[in-house]
Amino acid sequence: MKRTTPDKFKRQAHASLLAAWMAAVVLLVTFQPASAHTEGKMQLSAEPAGPFKMTVFSSPDPATIGDIHIAALIFVAEDARPVLDADVLVTVTPVDGGGPSQKSQAVQGDSENKLLFEAIIDVSTPGLYLVSIAVEDADGQSGQASFELGVSSDEGFNWIYLIPVIVVVLVVVVLITFRMKRRGTSQE
Amino acid sequence: MDPLLRATLTSWDWRVEVISVLALAGTIYLLGWWRVRQRTISKQVHSRWHAKAIWRPVAYVGGLLILGIALMSPIDVLAAQLFTFHMIQHVLLVMVVPPLLLLANPLPFSIWGLPKSLRSPAGSLLKRDSLVRHGLQKITGAGLVWMAFVIVYWGWHDPNAYDLALRNSFVHDLEHITFFVVSVLFWWHVTGAGPKIHRPMSQGVRFAFLLSAIPITMLAGLAITFSTEPIYKYYEAMPRLWGLSVMDDQRIAGVIMWVVGSMMYMVAALIIAARWLQKEEAKPSLPRSAWATKDALATPGIEAK
């Protein structure tokens, strides 16, 4: 029996829906929104800060204007025990002195990883910034560490994202080669 | 509750792309299983799919749930802090989820779960002489799959690759996807799930194939367990949870890979061996006349002339 037009339309609609969903999943996996999952660039690695040590991440990587996530793991220098009850303040200051500083309280609830203190700071001007993280625990002990962060206006390209494209191209090339080979064999 | 334990248990990463994939895969399978079951009851579909068996959907949904736990629970979130958590995650992805999903024979049931308009095109992708079938046949032979498993498993445990995966979530996802894909291909040969495009393995070959996976995890596990210095420098920048030092954490992770990892294949191999022996026992015994002759008893193995 010949396939009717509504059948064809239905099949195309279903296939399009499935393809759109698959594309959305691939895009979400490839370009996950910045989140504090100990991800982004590790800016400080167990950096001493008074009686504490800090491991700090910034995302997105590379940093661009807009929301920048600063996430810090803070632990006691002596035994590397994580610090969970502390006031953590993130300050972002332009290095060339061309603008005001921005301060934001880093909190645990904002990140999926509840061991992390996370702050989100909106940086609107490209340039070099000094990011300082100051911590004070419940006993009044405090420490501070900082790093410089270059913020650009346009999104730089992370070459790692080319991997899925390369894989897809390779699969297509293999399939085409295989098809051509088979056609050649059947013609013989 | 201990604040550290509370912080750990509440660290969930609800990822929309993971939830949507699991929900869609589960819905399509269950719908297909239900449809096939109804048809089996009314004898429209051959009963060799065992659609009446409830353990199939239970295994599939269980596999999807464990996959969700591995990818979104504190196991995933804390994998960046403790090597042990990361190893538990890998064991789930490589040795627990794939056999559970494949025991449910997901492909035929999932095709039945698709809308009617897509069922035939989806099925035709794997019909005889189709390009996809031939391509899959070429690249998923048991030997190639075993080799791919070795390369992927050992490759990702290289310190540079492993550290990169911990620092970049995309690479981390890529690591998990490749682990999962090669494991699914490995267990596909073991379980004999559809599509049946390769010659089915005999019980003996299946047994040997399972045993051949043990050195892969065991050697890597031994190397990690008995290393005298931290292999993955990333963990040195992390706070130490529950007083676990970097080296203790590494040793526990190594033992998990070595013992638990090997055990999974060993258990599966023993199940195959038991079924193999059962089949042997079920064979009819030789008639008495074939062996109880005077000559045969006097000189066993030598026929009387």
Residuewise pLDDT in 10s, chain B (305 residues): 788 888 888 888 888 888 989 999 999 999 999 998 888 777 655 556 666 678 899 999 999 999 999 999 999 988 888 999 999 999 999 999 999 999 999 999 999 999 888 888 888 888 887 888 888 888 899 999 999 999 999 999 999 999 888 888 888 888 999 999 999 999 999 998 888 888 888 889 999 999 999 999 999 999 999 999 999 999 998 988 888 999 999 999 999 999 998 999 999 999 999 988 888 888 887 777 777 777 777 766 665 55
Domain membership flag for residue B299: no
Domain membership flag for residue B298: no
Question: Could you say which residues from 28 to 87 on chain B have a Cβ atom under 8 Å away from some Cβ of chain A?
Answer: 77-78, 80-81
Is A113 close to B236, i.e. CB distance below 8 A? Answer: no
Does residue A37 have a pLDDT over 90? no
CATH homologous superfamily of A41-151: Macroglobulin (MG2) domain (2.60.40.1930)
Q: What digits encode the pLDDT tens for the residues A140-175?
A: 999 999 999 999 887 656 666 666 677 777 777 776
- Rounded CA separation B184/A125 (Å): 48
Mean pLDDT rounded to a whole number for chain A: 80
- Binned at pLDDT 50, 70 and 90, residue A36 comes out as very low
Complex ipTM > 0.85: no
A-B contacts at Cβ under 8 angstroms: 116
> Is residue A56 within 8 angstroms of chain B, CB to CB?
no
Domain membership flag for residue B214: yes
Asked whether B51 and B33 are in contact (CB, 8 A), the reply is yes
- Name the residue in chain B with its Cα closest to that of A3: B117
Instruction: Tell me how far CA of residue B207 lies from CA of A6, B31, B96, B277, in angstroms.
Output: 51, 33, 18, 12
Is A24 close to B17, i.e. CB distance below 8 A? Answer: yes
Is A178 close to B12, i.e. CB distance below 8 A? Answer: no
Chain B CB contacts of A182 under 8 Å are 131, 134
Compute the nearest-CA separation of A61 from chain B (Å): 9
- Rounded CA separation B73/B11 (Å): 7
- What ranges do the domains of chain A cover? 1-30, 41-151, 159-188
> Is residue A42 within 8 angstroms of chain B, CB to CB?
yes
Q: Which of B6, B11, B237 faces A55 most closely, judged by CB atoms?
A: B237
Asked whether A30 and A164 are in contact (CB, 8 A), the reply is yes
- Rounded CA separation B250/B24 (Å): 37
| pLDDT of the residue at B217 | 92
- Cross-strand partners of A130: A93, A148
Instruction: Tell me how far CA of residue A162 lies from CA of A31, A168, B148, B163, B173, in angstroms.
Output: 12, 10, 22, 19, 14
Does residue A50 have a pLDDT over 50? yes
- Name the residue in chain B with its Cα closest to that of A48: B237
Q: Which of A30, A55, A80 faces B170 most closely, judged by CB atoms?
A: A30
| pLDDT of the residue at B133 | 86
| pLDDT of the residue at A122 | 92
| pLDDT of the residue at A1 | 47
Is A80 close to B240, i.e. CB distance below 8 A? Answer: yes
The parent domain of residue B262 ranges over: 12-120+127-282
The more confidently predicted of residues B209 and A178 is: B209
Is B135 close to A11, i.e. CB distance below 8 A? Answer: no
- Rounded CA separation A69/A58 (Å): 6
Question: Could you say which residues from 207 to 266 on chain B have a Cβ atom under 8 Å away from some Cβ of chain A?
Answer: 236-241, 243
Chain A CB contacts of B169 under 8 Å are 32, 37, 39
- Over range A12-26, report the average pLDDT: 68
Share of chain A above pLDDT 90, in %: 35
Domain membership flag for residue B94: yes
Q: Which of B118, B170, B239 faces A81 most closely, judged by CB atoms?
A: B239
C-beta contacts of A18-23 below 8 A and 24+ residues apart: A18/B118, A21/B20, A21/B24
Could you give the strand order of the β-sheet that contains A142-151, starting from the edge strand earlier in sequence?
Answer: A102-106, A86-94, A127-137, A142-151
Domain membership flag for residue B267: yes
Query: Domain tally for chain B?
Result: 1
- Name the residue in chain A with its Cα closest to that of B78: A113
Only one residue has tokens 């789930």, namely B92
Q: Which of B77, B236, B243 faces A113 most closely, judged by CB atoms?
A: B77
| pLDDT of the residue at B99 | 94
Domain membership flag for residue B300: no
Chain A CB contacts of B28 under 8 Å are none
| pLDDT of the residue at B291 | 72
Compute the nearest-CA separation of B52 from chain A (Å): 29
- Report pTM: 0.81
One-letter amino acid for residue B281 of the chain: E
- Cross-strand partners of A55: A73
Domain membership flag for residue B177: yes
- Name the residue in chain A with its Cα closest to that of B132: A175
